[in-house]
Structure 1
Amino acid sequence: MYKNLPPLFDELQTMRDNYFHTEIFNSSIHIRAVPDKWSVAESIYHCYLLLKLTRIISAYYLPIACAYMKVRRPKVKRYMDDMSNIYSGKTMKAPSILKPKMKREYTLLELRDLLEEETEKVKTCIASLTKEQCYWIRYPDPVPGYPNVIQVVKLLRIHEEHHYRVVLEREAKSRK
């Protein structure tokens, strides 16, 4: 794995550890503080769905992009790895594929396991990429500005942190 990727996954784990040890994440995670807003469990499940979608896209897209890169032999013009928080400001509506439709009430541990399993699968998808591939290959996603592999991993953390922060704030307000 390209050396700049493991620290990004470490950041993701640390962020999860911090949120998953809060009182709010360890209480009634299936109860919505606001009727039309997601519960803690739904927010976590939504983050899992985005991870899963990223992994599925990566499993098909990255081999094709790598093959194209071998044929074309492009040079990386800039090693961009900064990623702004596209989730700051007004919240966006989730596409239907990412809306949490949980068939049952998962425990917090089960939800964490889902996240961890998908994270490991994402790592496997990108493990063999070189530095050049990590920076040259761009995902076909216009919302975050066609991010490269490094930026996608950063976006996964930014996305989760955004949802966890929002749900914590909402839950804290409702408890007052």
Structure 2
Amino acid sequence: MTVMPIRLFGDPVLTTPAAEVVDFDARLRRLVKDLDETLVDQRGSGLAAPQLGVGLRVFVFRDEDASGHLVNPVLRFPDEEEQDGPEGCLSMPGLYFDTRRRRNVVAKGYDMHGRPLQVVGRGHLARCLQHETDHLDGVLFLDRMDATRRKAALRAIREAPWFATPPRVKLSPHGPAGLFR
């Protein structure tokens, strides 16, 4: 098992839908263990494979109510009840923003051995299961915010010390003459 570096906001792997897991083999079990060890090291609630740069539909979660992993999860919502509250992401360290989510969820998938698995989440665990499944779909929690909240969140991200700003392009003092004749 290994603590792996987490991909940060702006990395294209975070907005690319992950592929279904088809091989429930030793490599998958290793990935689940690496995800779990990295999550424990970072003291987070959930971590999806794309956050480690692996484009597979698998994530781990830890909550006061439950902990574990899900492979190829599918979510079902038993009611329309919602919650609105702070949410963070290990790919956006140190930042938390109010995000609206469903309060209750039933997540069905498989364990690392290919056995069917179901996790019922309420409150914080429901938020975590939705957040991690979104990662597998290439969706960030910023995408779940209304325009006002998203604008404020993007401003905070740009000001974060870990945010890699695009390199500045220096213009030639000689202009483009000669290039477009």
Q: TM-score range by the shorter chain?
A: under 0.3
State which structure, 1 or 2, has the greater radius of gyration over its C-alpha atoms: 2
Write 1 or 2 for the structure with the bigger share of helix.
1
Give the TM-score normalised by structure 1: 0.23
Higher-strand-fraction structure: 2
More RCO (CA 8 Å, sep 6+) = 1
| TM-score between the two structures when normalised by the length of structure 2 | 0.23
